[in-house]
Amino acid sequence: MRISIHFNSRKEQNSLYDWADISVGESRIGKARCKIDKSTITIFTINIYQDWERRGYGKEFIDYCKEHYLTVIADRVRPVSIGFWESMEFTDTMDGCWIFHAPLRMDKGE
3-state secondary structure of 2: coil
What are the backbone dihedrals phi and psi of residue 74, each rounded to the nearest 5 degrees, phi first? -100, 115
Which among 76, 64, 69 has a CA at the least distance from the CA of 5? Answer: 64
Which among 29, 15, 102 has a CA at the least distance from the CA of 64? Answer: 102
pTM of the model: 0.89
**Domain coordinates of the chain in residue numbers?**
4-101
Options 3.40.630.30, 1.20.1250.20, 2.170.130.10, 3.40.50.2000; CATH of 4-101: 3.40.630.30
Model confidence pLDDT, tens digit, residues 67-79: 999 999 999 999 9
Model confidence pLDDT, tens digit, residues 23-34: 999 999 999 999
DSSP character for 50?
A: G
